[in-house]
Amino acid sequence: MRFEVWAPGVRRVGLWHEGGVYGMDRSPTHEGWWQAEVRTWDGARYGFSLDGGGVLPDPRSRRQPDGPEGLSAVVDHDGDGWRHAWRGRPLPGAVLYEVHIGTFTREGTFDGARERLAHVAGLGVTHVELMPVCPFPGTHGWGYDGVAPWAVHEPYGGPVGLKRFVDAAHGQGLGVVLDVVHNHLGPSGNHLPAFGPYFTERHRTPWGAAVNLDGPGSDEVRGYLIGSALAFLRDYQLDGLRLDAVHALADTRAEHFLAELSEAVDTMAARTGRPLFLIAESDLNDPRTTAPRTVNGHGVHAQWNDDFHHALHVAVTGESDGYYADFARSEDGPLGALAKTLTGAFFHDGGYSSFRGRRHGRAVRPETATPAHRFLAYAQTHDQVGNRALGERLSALAPTGLLACAAALVLLSPGTPLLFMGEEWGAGTPWQYFTDHQDAELAEAVRQGRRREFAAHGWPAERVPDPQDPATRERSCLDWNEPERAPHAELLEWYRALASLRHSHPLLAHTPLGDARVTRSPADSEDRWLLLRNGPLHVAVNLAGDRTAQIPLPTSHAVLLTAWDPGTRLDEGVLSLPPESAAVLH
């Protein structure tokens, strides 16, 4: 096997392989690359020594059996026996379900998660979206501090465990999407700077020096990240990737990194015949993220839409702190903000944001006929739950009837629905921020930083969960006995009915942005009802807690589903909808 490594600034490179040391030669064709031919096997341990220094793991390691600081191991992907043939599932028509492997089950492993895939498939989900699974320090964490973007976290089950999980998901008819982090690595266990200019001080990010996407050596750095993305899609037969915080990708080159990545993924999709896709997390509200490359967009296939989440959250909970303030104090009221995101995706589309102290975003032009499925709709995600001081889910902030209303607007929205694990039964467990840093100094810095962050909002330090305490992760694990008990079981059936209804109306997956229509109450503070028309369906919600809504319907309809109150009535074109309940009409 040929071992290769990019290390442009060193004089010599040695390969350590199972106790033997081998000199590496400069590549005659690729500047900065070193190579050596050594007989090897699956599982063999190896690493590289630069200019006589200690042995470091391979930047392109496919496996780190002993964690980010340990030796790398060879992974042989040839001849893998996939039990289930899989041709993929496209993004249009999808219902995604975000999963954190470490808390989806108490076991916190791929194998433990496999045992719950029948539940996910039975819910009406089409794709499981895994939070990052690349190696990170310790056993338990969110995964966004990974350092080896080609490898798989060993405590979860490593490469073999991930393949078993994906194969089992495909056997249930589920696609698999993986959350990947390209905007930073580490910091703990990050040895990339020793090998080459992977980072640059020309740009700064919340995590320090930016990944080098546009300076000297950036061709190789871009290739490093794109190569890892394609390797996961190819070797693990994944269906798509979620790209973390792409607004933190500092890139001044004429062709943005995202455009280069999307072109590479589209090329692989055409070659394999599988409908591969990318979903970006972006704070920019920039239509260029998902615009086609042919019109100078980045060509990413979809993006998370936090504006929809924020508008829905404010409408359901009444919270108005921080970034919720703009939505709560909207000129058209909270329901007006929600209506805007249901019909135009972005609330912040060039207007002033008081939270940011400046104008923000840009509108999606109606004439572009942008498919609404390019914008993900959700009431909860790991970010929006876990970044609260106590990690409260929406079920801790709103009554069950309002949870049902939120579910109806998510699952029957023009956008692509995304659910957060346990949301479908109103899980009573929180989902808190937890880490397992092995570096004591870093662990204390994270602990104190978390306390300072929430002290600014009036939270005493003792009330903020310690990220390093194992109990914080334990509290965040789902309780799989809950779905069998009231009121969880009733809410779960409501989610299943909504997902089934969405799949029975495939036109919902192809709504052009702006085609949906929203009618709302004249006064947000009193008659808090909203009526969404999306294709052939009308979704009516009454968010008021103390009054029945009288909702005029433009044409005759039949009620298909109701929740949460049996008192819903339709009489002479007026829908009487009880407090904190929802109805779906055809």
Same domain, residue pair 490 and 380? yes
Domain of residue 23, residue span: 2-56
Q: Which two tokens stand for residue 338?
A: 């929600």
Same domain, residue pair 165 and 225? yes
Which segments of the chain have a pLDDT < 70? Answer: 79, 366-368
Region of residue 45 (phi > 0: left; psi between -120 and 50: alpha; otherwise: beta): beta
The verdict on residue 401 lying in a domain is yes
Burial class (CB in 10 A: 0-12, 13-18, 19+), 449: exposed
Q: What is the DSSP letter of 178?
A: E
Q: Which residues lie below 8 Å from residue 352, measured CB to CB, with a gap of 6+?
A: 358, 359, 360
> Which whole-number Å values give the CA distances from 567 to 13, 180, 267, 548, in the listed order?
75, 46, 54, 9
> Which whole-number Å values give the CA distances from 177 to 233, 236, 342, 568, in the listed order?
9, 11, 24, 39
Q: Provide the 3-class DSSP secondary structure of residue 410.
A: helix
What's the CATH number where 218 sits? 3.20.20.80
The candidate with the shortest Cα–Cα distance to 447, out of 461, 429, 430, is 461
Q: Which two tokens stand for residue 144?
A: 């966004």
Q: How far apart are CA 304 and CA 415, in angstroms?
A: 10
**0.95 surpassed by pTM:** yes
Same domain, residue pair 353 and 469? no
pLDDT digits (tens, 9 = 90+) for 23-72: 999 999 999 999 999 999 999 999 999 999 999 999 999 999 999 999 99
pLDDT at 19: 92
pLDDT at 88: 96
Q: How far apart are CA 279 and CA 455, in angstroms?
A: 34
pLDDT at 158: 98
Q: How far apart are CA 11 and CA 5, in angstroms?
A: 13
- CA atoms within a 13 Å half-sphere pointing along the CA-CB vector of 538: 19
pLDDT at 574: 94
Same domain, residue pair 378 and 368? no
What's the CATH number where 28 sits? 2.60.40.10
The verdict on residue 190 lying in a domain is yes
pLDDT at 116: 98
The verdict on residue 88 lying in a domain is no
Same domain, residue pair 211 and 311? no
Same domain, residue pair 344 and 399? no
Which of 372, 390, 408 terminates a domain? The answer is: 372
Contact between 288 and 298 under an 8 Å Cβ cutoff? The reply is: yes
The verdict on residue 281 lying in a domain is yes
- CA atoms within a 13 Å half-sphere pointing along the CA-CB vector of 54: 6
Q: How far apart are CA 447 and CA 429, in angstroms?
A: 22
Contact between 127 and 174 under an 8 Å Cβ cutoff? The reply is: yes
Same domain, residue pair 427 and 293? yes
What's the CATH number where 547 sits? 2.60.40
pLDDT at 263: 98
**Phi, psi (deg, nearest 5) at residue 519:** -110, 135
Same domain, residue pair 392 and 525? no
The verdict on residue 411 lying in a domain is yes
pLDDT at 367: 65
Same domain, residue pair 316 and 365? yes
Rg (CA), the chain: 25
The verdict on residue 68 lying in a domain is no
pLDDT at 557: 82
The verdict on residue 80 lying in a domain is no
Between helix 306-317 and helix 400-411 the angle, nearest 10°, is 150
311, containing H or E segment:
helix 306-317
Same domain, residue pair 412 and 394? yes
Burial class (CB in 10 A: 0-12, 13-18, 19+), 510: middle
Strand 127-130 with 25-26, pairing: unpaired
Burial 170-193 (b: 16+ CB within 10 A, else e): bbbebbbbbbbbbbbbbebbbbbe
The verdict on residue 538 lying in a domain is yes
pLDDT at 436: 95
Q: How far apart are CA 6 and CA 31, in angstroms?
A: 9
Contact between 467 and 433 under an 8 Å Cβ cutoff? The reply is: yes
444, containing H or E segment:
helix 440-455
424 residue type, one letter: E
Q: From start to end of 247-294, where are the E strands?
A: 277-280
Contact between 558 and 542 under an 8 Å Cβ cutoff? The reply is: no
Provide the number of structural domains found in the chain: 5
pLDDT at 279: 98
Which residues are identified as catalytic?
Answer: 244, 281
Same domain, residue pair 294 and 200? yes
Same domain, residue pair 474 and 344? no
> Which whole-number Å values give the CA distances from 113 to 105, 339, 352, 475, in the listed order?
6, 36, 44, 17
